[in-house]
A = this chain, B = another copy of it.
Amino acid sequence: MPIGADLLCETLLANGIDTCFANPGTSEMHFVAALDRQPRIRCVLGLFEGVVTGAADGYARMADRPAATLLHTGPGLANGLANLHNARRARTPMVNVVGDHATYHLVHDAPLTSDIDSLARPMSHWVGWAENVETMVSSTEEAIRAAHSGQGQVATLILPADAAWSETEAPLPQAIALPVQSAPDAARIAEAVAALRNGKATTVLVGGRALRSASLELLQRIATRTGARILAQQSNARVERGTGRVAIERVPYPVDMQLATFAQTEQVILIGAKAPVGFFAYPGKPGSMLPEGCRVIDMTAPDADLPAAVQALADAVGAGRDIPLVLNVAARPDAPTGALTAEKCAASVARHMPANAIVCDEAVTSARNIFGITHGAAPHDFLQLTGGAIGIGLPMATGAAIACPDRKVIALQADGSGMYTVQALWTMARERTDVVVVVYANRRYNILHGELKAVGAGQPGENARRMLDLDNPHLDWVRMAEGMGVEAARAETAEVFDDLFRAACASRGPFLIEAVI
């Protein structure tokens, strides 16, 4: 007779979820046994839960459908929360299954008991319980429905061990009707159209699925027709770009640059985006990046079909196919030479990136020029850290590679952030992912050195250096990667880096390059 965990697996499969990133424990053992009986689900082990949740994020961004995760009680969930935070900001669909003690065991406050609900809520759009075996299917369906709601949501389903292990004669689940995104809202579109025609300086700020190629072409035509400026949000789950596509710039990170970007803006139209704010607060500087009096028009509902909304706007302003498009032309930088810098790495990335690559950017300060230099690189998807919680780069690349096994994944990785979830390298090796990892080894939390200077602290002293520098000893990324089964090499000159990166792009990965900059 099937048990609750079998029904959970069947409900996932019936609704198109066939990949489970996992790190199980004892309370999930019946779920593990059920997965073992269900080979149609692909289980991917992460050696730390931050790898599990970050990989599920990368997977869903590229697959456009959720993966499941399997996490062990409150502490296992806690280990995955930082990347759930990023996924929530990316509006990534995801179904987390968090095993808990049997319901009747909670009263004993056994060592692993904790308040999972309190832990899950801040980083989940939806939290629910698979209370018992009779409601297993409906609870799981509710989680899946939540994951597919809005622009995509993080749904966390808590699975008590007794609900998982109890037998049931309930029928096998069928596919449910998933939520459909809402059609363009005529009133919102009309408000945006009126704004675009009122002669004021207008920025259209774009996020989510409106950053795919087809929408970006429409947006460029809208800009040409109306004179508005189109900008992507600072951090985006996924942007389609490169040769033959539309170039779109992003809102910059530093507050002063953000303020300058919007200084002349009289009105902002949001399409799947949020009004720009400072990533952090600074004494004496504003939190909103928009000038006083700037009007904000939110053109899309939270659950809007963004490409449809862009199409409706284009239709309404007459931005048709008669308007010529300006698309990126191939522009490959010259081969860099001499001492290695982050900028020279970027040149090599732009030169050798194969068509259809997936670029995962968690290079923080070291990738400041990567976006600009790759407009004319081969067509690719560009995935960013969306929530500011470092440690998603390597897991995200792993998940993206599993979603798209025929595409090269390029992970641009800061060393400080990379250490957070360095265990992802092992999963890259085990799953034979085609990833080339570039670790920018500047051997410091470089962004924090800048911030320390900004607070007027002067030259860092002993304690500040001890907290901001990753030296004494240096991290040897080649050995760490090899230790986890990933082939690796070090580059200390631009010539060596260019050679290594070209070769890594030409053969199947995973491969890691430590770029000492």
**Interface residues of A, Cβ cutoff 8 Å to B:** 22-27, 29-30, 32-33, 35-39, 41, 43-45, 47-48, 50, 70, 73-76, 78-79, 81-82, 85, 89, 101-102, 104-105, 107-112, 114-116, 118-119, 121-123, 161-162, 165, 235, 274, 277-281, 283, 287-288, 386-389, 391, 416, 419-420, 422-423, 426, 429-430, 445, 447-448, 451-452, 454-455, 457, 460-464, 466-468, 470, 472-485
Contacts and interface: CB of A to CB of B under 8 A. Distances in A.
Contacts of A287: 104-105, 107-108, 110
A476 B486 CA distance: 11
Nearest to A119: B122
B29 A452 contact: yes
Nearest to A9: B463
Given A29-B451, A36-B463, A455-B165, A115 B121 contact: yes
Nearest to A51: B419
A448 B101 CA distance: 15
Contact of A461 (B22, B39, B121): B39
Contacts of A116: 122
Contacts of A279: 26, 110-112
B387 A112 contact: yes
A281 B75 contact: no
15 contacts: A26-B280, A27-B280, A32-B452, A36-B463, A45-B466, A45-B467, A78-B82, A79-B82, A89-B111, A112-B280, A119-B119, A422-B422, A426-B473, A429-B473, A481-B483
Nearest to A418: B47
A475 B484 CA distance: 5
B485 A43 contact: no
A122 B75 CA distance: 10
A414 to B, nearest CB: 12
B463 A38 contact: yes
A145 B442 CA distance: 41
A39 B455 contact: no
Nearest to A44: B466
A489 B246 CA distance: 54
Centre residue among A108, A161, A165 by max chain B CB count within 10 A: A108
A25 B391 CA distance: 13
A118 B122 contact: yes
Given A24-B467, A47-B470, A448-B26, A123 B114 contact: yes
A23 B419 CA distance: 12
List the 6 closest A-B pairs by CB distance, nearest first.
A473-B485, A75-B389, A479-B483, A480-B483, A102-B281, A105-B281
Contact of A161 (B23, B105, B281, B477): B281
Nearest to A476: B483
A455 B75 contact: no
Contacts of A466: 43-45
A43 B463 contact: yes
Contacts of A82: 75-76, 78-79
A387 B74 CA distance: 11
Centre residue among A110, A426, A483 by max chain B CB count within 10 A: A483
A451 B457 CA distance: 54
A466 B42 CA distance: 9
Given A115-B121, A452-B32, A162 B24 contact: no
B33 A455 contact: yes
Given A48-B391, A75-B387, 6 more contacts: A23-B467, A36-B457, A43-B467, A108-B278, A419-B426, A480-B484
